[in-house]
Structure formats: C-alpha cells, structure tokens
Amino acid sequence: MPQRAAAAPLADGGQLLPVTPGLGAATAVLLLAAVTVAGWGRLGHGRAVLRAGLRAVAQLAAVALVITWVVDSRWWSALFVLLMFTVAVRTAGRRMAPGDGRDWLWAAAPIGAGVLPVLVLLLGSGLLPPKGLSVIPVAGILIGGALTATSLSGRRALDELRQRHGEVEAALALGFEERDARMEICRTAAATSLVPALDQTRTVGLVTLPGAFVGMLLGGASPVQAGAVQLFVLVGLLAVETTAVVVVLELVGRGLVRAGRVGEVIG
C-alpha cells in the first residue's frame, strides 16, 4: 500500500502540479497579490515585484523552448552555463557596485571561486555525467547559491562600513592596516548572509522538501537515492556560498569594492 501511494503522482504524469490553464490563472492571481501587498505595505517594491514576475515568465518560456535543443550538445550546454554565470555576475555586481562602470565585474571572483572548483570536482570524479541535462541544472543551483551569497554579503559588508566609518578610522589610528580595519568591522555582518543556507540545511526534511528531492521522487528514484542527492546539493551549496562570502570580504577589505559607492538597486 505505501508503495502504491508513493507512485500515485507518477500515474498522473509525474507532475507535482498539473500544467493547465488553471495553474496559469493561479500564478497570475498570486503575482497580483504579491504586488498589491507590497504596495499596501508601502515596501516600495511593488513595481519590482511585478517586473520580476513578468521577467520570470518570459525567461522560463524562453528556456523551455531552448533547453531541449541545448542539452544535446556539450558545447552549447557549456555556453548556456557561461550565460548563467554572466547573468549572475551582472546581477550580484549591480548589488555591490551599482552604477559604477565596470566595478560589477568583481562579482565574477566570488561566484567563480565558489562554483568552478565544485563543478571541476564533480566532472573530474565522474559523479556528474558530462551531459547538458546533468550539468546545466547542477551548475544553475550552484551559481544561484553563489549569486545570493555574493549579493547579500557584499551589500551587508558595504552597508556596515558606511554606517561605521568612524570605527574604521579609529582602527587605522590605532595602527591597523587598511584591509584589517575594514575586515574587523564588516566580517560579522557579511557572515550573516550564510544564515539562509544554514537554515535550509538544518531544517531540510522537517520544514521543506527541496526541489532536487521532490524531483527525483517524481522521476521514480527511491527515497534513499533522492535524499542522498539532496544532501550532496545542500553541502555543495554550503561550500560554494562560504567560499563566495570569503572572497567578497577580501574584495571589500582590499578596497576593490568600496562602501562609498553603495546605493539601493532593486529591479
């Protein structure tokens, strides 16, 4: 009986949610609700919520049309991963150094330092097959985690330096090197960007069932296989995001990304 219950979703097409006009209508209603609540709560991001939702629709539609063709070629798959990396760098960079020419390019360092070693290890060890259908989703998960960690740690480190500029000056007066003075002030604030990843790892299976786990179950994998893969993804994300935060701190500490250039950018 338990086995039949577990297999029930597959009998309906292996879908977590049925792709019907009703799903589209429900999604539109939820987006409208998010925009309305953001406006009602005076969060100041009602338009940003709407733009983000509409962009997600357009981008997912484009990916759905392209991905089935891209995954059949290793070269096109590699270019697709490179595109994901470039967009992540641009997005995270705009959070750290908005409107400052090419300073956003520094975001390539933390994202690349976190993601590249993990991908090389997976491919080199044979754990990840060198196929687009395998590489693209795994790379996307890792790049997405690095993007979040880079954006959050960069913003929090720079905001902390701007708010506590006097303490940096005091540390310099006491004989601290410029890098060390900045690091003393912003390290703790930047480290809080790891809290979402830590909470997700601590509560997995108790609060949420992440996408990789659910996807494998719907695809016919056993719960043990799905759990093992999801555990690997979570640990990999911790490694990627920790590395990204450390590199961001070095960039901020060395003055390559400066607190005086920070401005709020959401869009």
Q: What is the pLDDT of residues 74-127, one digit of tens each?
A: 888 889 999 999 999 999 988 876 655 577 789 999 999 999 999 998 888 888
Same domain, 30 and 108: no
Can you give the pLDDT at residue 99? 58
Residue % of the chain over a pLDDT of 70: 85
With H, G, I as helix, E, B as strand and everything else as coil, classify residue 208: strand
Measured CA to CA, the distance from residue 260 to residue 161 in angstroms comes to 9
Measured CA to CA, the distance from residue 98 to residue 259 in angstroms comes to 11
- C-alpha distance from residue 136 to each of 20, 86, 119, 261 (Å): 26, 14, 11, 34
Same domain, 118 and 132: yes
Residue % of the chain over a pLDDT of 90: 26
Can you give the pLDDT at residue 220? 72
User: Average pLDDT over the chain, rounded to whole?
Assistant: 82
User: Where residue 247 falls among pLDDT bands split at 50, 70, 90?
Assistant: very high
13 found inside a domain? no
Range of the domain at 109: 74-261
Same domain, 56 and 174: no
Same domain, 32 and 113: no
Same domain, 81 and 50: no
**8 has a pLDDT exceeding 60:** no
Can you give the pLDDT at residue 98? 64
Residues whose CB falls within 8 Å of the CB of residue 256, separated by 6 or more in sequence, listed in order: 106
With H, G, I as helix, E, B as strand and everything else as coil, classify residue 214: helix
Q: How far does CA 247 lie from the centroid of its chain?
A: 16
Can you give the pLDDT at residue 240? 95
- C-alpha distance from residue 212 to each of 141, 150, 203 (Å): 10, 23, 15
Can you give the pLDDT at residue 10? 41
**194 has a pLDDT exceeding 60:** yes
Same domain, 66 and 78: no
Can you give the pLDDT at residue 101? 58
Same domain, 33 and 159: no
With H, G, I as helix, E, B as strand and everything else as coil, classify residue 204: strand
**What does the pLDDT look like over 23-51, one tens digit per residue?**
888 888 998 998 888 888 777 777 888 99
Same domain, 112 and 61: no
Domain end call among 55, 70, 85: 70
pTM exceeds 0.85, yes or no: no
Closest CA to 252 of 171, 190, 164, 174: 190
Same domain, 174 and 115: yes
